Amino acid sequence: MPERALGTVLLLLSVVLVAIVGLIPGQDTATLGTELLGLGSMLGVAIGALVTRSMTGAGPRPRAWFVTRLLLPAAGIVPVVVGGVSLIAEAGGGLYWIVGAMVFAIGGAVGNAWVLLIEILR
C-alpha cells in the first residue's frame, strides 16, 4: 500500500513538474521536448519500480487487476515521453500529448486515492 500511495503522489507531482517546465519562458520546442522526455523517463522509471514492487507477492488476482494497476500510471507518464519526442521531432502532436498525460495522470491519481481511501477503512 505505501508504494501505491507514493506512486499516486508522483503522478500528481508529474502534473506540477510538467506545468512548471512548460512555463519556462523563451525556450524553443527542442529544449522543451528534451526536458519533458527526461522528466517523463525519470518519473516513468520511479513509478514503474513502485508499481512493480507493489504487485509482487500479490497472490492470485484477476487479470483486470493487473491491467488497471499498470494502465493507470502508464497513461499518465507515457504520453509525456511521447510528447517530448514529438516536440523534439517537431511532428506528431507535440503538446497535445502533454495535455492527455496531465488529464490521465490526474484521473489515475484520483482513482488510486479512492482505492487507498477504501482500503485504509477496511
Domain ranges for the chain, please list them. 2-121
Question: Residue 53 — very low, low, confident or very high, per pLDDT cuts 50/70/90?
Answer: confident
In the prediction, which pLDDT does 7 show? 79
Q: In the structure, what pLDDT confidence band is assigned to residue 112 with cuts at 50, 70 and 90?
A: confident
- 33 within 8 A of 85, measured Cβ to Cβ: yes
Tell me what the pLDDT averaged over the chain comes to: 84
Residue with cell 484477476: 62
Per-residue confidence band for 121, with pLDDT thresholds at 50, 70 and 90 = low
Give pTM, 2 decimals.
Answer: 0.78
The whole-number pLDDT of residue 32 equals 93
d(CA 66, CA 83): 26
Asked if residues 8 and 113 have their Cβ atoms less than 8 Å apart, the reply is yes
Which among 120, 1, 111 has a CA at the least distance from the CA of 51? Answer: 1
